[in-house]
């Protein structure tokens, strides 16, 4: 990890007082990350294994989780999977693995970003700040409810639901799946290219368009489990549109 001195800076409003839980079994790395994040105006706590990370996540409800993949007790993949059953806490994976399959694994499980070791801690801070801006920025005014076919999305409360069997059922979606569905619902008849969906819905810094297919496939399977077919719809050679009855 390159050495450089963290410099004090005034934290942007979107990140001020945000709590970052660092799940990392190497104390030196955790200490360095904590120092840099605190210099940027963030609060930090440290978990040294997967079990402790889950317990602290439940107790502290952090604004973001920096999650190492290779940890004792429970590895990062299992921790991430459990976190995603609880809600949409932003998660940035930290790992020494630099293979596409590992990156795809993290994104399929709902990671918001992915940093490969060795890394510059200043870059990690920049990624944390970017994710916090995206997830914590307060809207200037209430955002209209999105509706298409049986679907309804409330962007302000971050709730997605579908009308089935005479009632509105909440959808259990990852952050990326929620963004994909919302993007497609804003223009149900329009076909979005993979590059557009990548830019609007997936983690910053990700340049692999095939990751869009992975997230769309997972979203589609969740909807098919509810008896909803053809959402999103693939348009061969172009990309995806909302589909369904819209």
Express each pLDDT in 65-114 by its tens digit: 999 988 898 888 889 989 988 888 999 998 876 655 556 666 667 788 88
Domain ranges of the chain: 19-136, 146-241
| 3, pLDDT greater than 80 | no
Indicate whether this model's pTM tops 0.85.
no
The CATH class that applies to domain 19-136 reads: alpha beta
Q: What is the 3-state secondary structure (H, E, C) of the chain?
A: CCCCCCCCCCCCCCCCCCEEEEECCCHHHHHHHHHHHHHCCCEEEEECCHHHHHHHHHHHCCCEEEEECCCCCCCHHHHHHHHHHHCCCCEEEEECCCCHHHHHHHHHCCCCEEEECCCCHHHHHHHHHHHHHHHHCCCCCCCCCEEECCEEEECCCCEEEEEECCEEEECCCCHHHHHHHHHHHHCCCCCEEHHHHHHHHCCCCCCCCHHHHHHHHHHHHHHHCCCCCCCCEEECCCEEECCCCC
Span 146-241: which CATH code? Answer: 1.10.10.10
pLDDT band at 17 (very low <50, low <70, confident <90, very high): confident
Task: Assess contact for 111 and 87: CB atoms under 8 A.
Answer: no
| pLDDT tens for each residue of 124-177 | 999 999 999 887 765 455 668 888 888 999 887 888 999 888 788 899 999 889
Q: How far apart are CA 104 and CA 100, in angstroms?
A: 6
Query: What pLDDT does 53 receive?
Result: 94
**Residue 205 confidence class, pLDDT cut points 50, 70, 90:** low
């Amino acid at each position: 990890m390159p050495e450089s001195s963290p410099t004090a800076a005034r934290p942007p409003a979107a990140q001020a007082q945000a709590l970052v839980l660092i799940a990392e079994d190497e104390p030196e790395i955790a200490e360095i990350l904590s120092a840099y994040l605190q210099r940027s105006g963030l609060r930090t706590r440290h978990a040294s294994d997967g079990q402790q990370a889950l317990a602290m996540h439940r107790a502290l409800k952090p604004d973001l989780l920096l999650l190492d993949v290779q940890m004792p007790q429970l590895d990062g993949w299992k921790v991430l999977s459990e976190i995603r059953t609880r809600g949409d806490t932003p998660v940035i994976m930290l790992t020494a693995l630099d293979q596409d399959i590992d990156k795809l694994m993290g994104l399929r499980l709902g990671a918001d970003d992915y940093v490969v070791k060795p890394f510059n801690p200043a870059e990690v801070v920049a990624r944390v700040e970017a994710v916090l801006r995206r997830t914590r920025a307060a809207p200037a005014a209430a955002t209209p409810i999105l509706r298409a076919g049986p679907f309804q999305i409330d962007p302000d409360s971050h709730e997605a639901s579908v009308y089935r069997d005479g009632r509105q059922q909440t959808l259990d979606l990852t952050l990326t799946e929620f963004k994909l569905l919302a993007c497609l619902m804003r223009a149900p008849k329009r076909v979005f290219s993979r590059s557009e969906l990548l830019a609007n819905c997936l983690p910053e810094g990700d340049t692999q368009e095939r990751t869009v297919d992975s997230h769309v496939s997972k979203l589609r399977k969740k909807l098919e489990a509810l008896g909803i077919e053809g959402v999103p719809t693939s348009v061969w050679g172009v990309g995806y549109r909302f589909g369904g009855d819209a």
